[in-house]
Amino acid sequence: MTRVLVTGASTGLGLMAAQLLFEQGHEAVLHARSEARAAETRKELGRGAEVVLGDLSNLAGMRAVAAQANKLGRFDAVIHNAGLGNRDPRSETADGLMSVFAVNTLAPYVLTALMQKPGRLVFLSSGMHRNVTPRFDDLNWTQRAWASRTAYSESKLYDMMLAFAIARRWPGVLSNAVEPGWVQTRMGGPEATDDLDQGHRTQVWLAVSDDPAARVSGRGFYHLHARPPNPASLDIAAQDRLLEVCAELSGVALPP
């Protein structure tokens, strides 16, 4: 039995991943933003489950989730599923950071840096990461006219870069990224055309499977198959710059 933390597990792909983990006989610890969300999740699952609580849009919430997770002990895997979508207006967190970047990119960085090292890390990216390049000069979108799809796409490129950077830095941890496809969740919307049943399976497979194809590191995946990522995500200097920026913004350094 494998023990997995799933962030953003109160709805959508995170909830589906948790359900699949339980069905396969694994232990899933869920993250929810509030106790009300946690209660809804337990009801949806039809079972009790360990839940860590915290709002990943702010640094205090990120630290709180990491602290609660560490009290539960080391996890075999973490699925960084929590995220904001590509339709929202620009907003800032309590820390003055652009919300999409804070939740989609900085939160998985902070949790990874503060939690005990798991055996495996799975970062949720998106096919939209292919359409952009890193913009370290304006991560906070204060110099550009707001474009929600571009901001989201950039955050998902950074998730791909985080997965690859950590794969390099931590050779003892299997760190990969997943494109779940455009599926009909609350985030994806009713127009989505990809197979919803496939949307959560790859991240669970990467988190728990003994299949040699899943026991790799520094790869991007789509529907159980490796898929070449945006070449920009493979730039080592850019990966290292992203880690530096995340450390500067959060005050949390990635352990060696």
- Active centre residues (catalytic): 152, 156
Nearest-angstrom CA–CA distance, 244 and 119: 23
Could you give the residue ranges of the DSSP H alpha helices within 88-235?
Answer: 99-101, 107-114, 148-169, 201-208
Which residue is listed with tokens 């949806």? 44
Residue spans of alpha helices (H) in 26-142 = 35-45, 59-71, 99-101, 107-114
Residue partners of 158: CB distance under 8 A and separation at least 6: 101, 104, 105, 134, 242
Give the span between the Cα atoms of 168 and 164, in whole angstroms.
6
Compute CA distances 122 → 64, 72, 155, 210, 255, whole Å: 20, 19, 15, 15, 18
Cβ-proximal residues to 225 (8 Å cutoff; 6+ apart), any chain: none
Q: Which residues pair with 237 in a beta bridge?
A: none
Q: How far apart are CA 196 and CA 198, in angstroms?
A: 5
Place of tokens 């895997």: 77
Find where tokens 């009300």 sit: 36
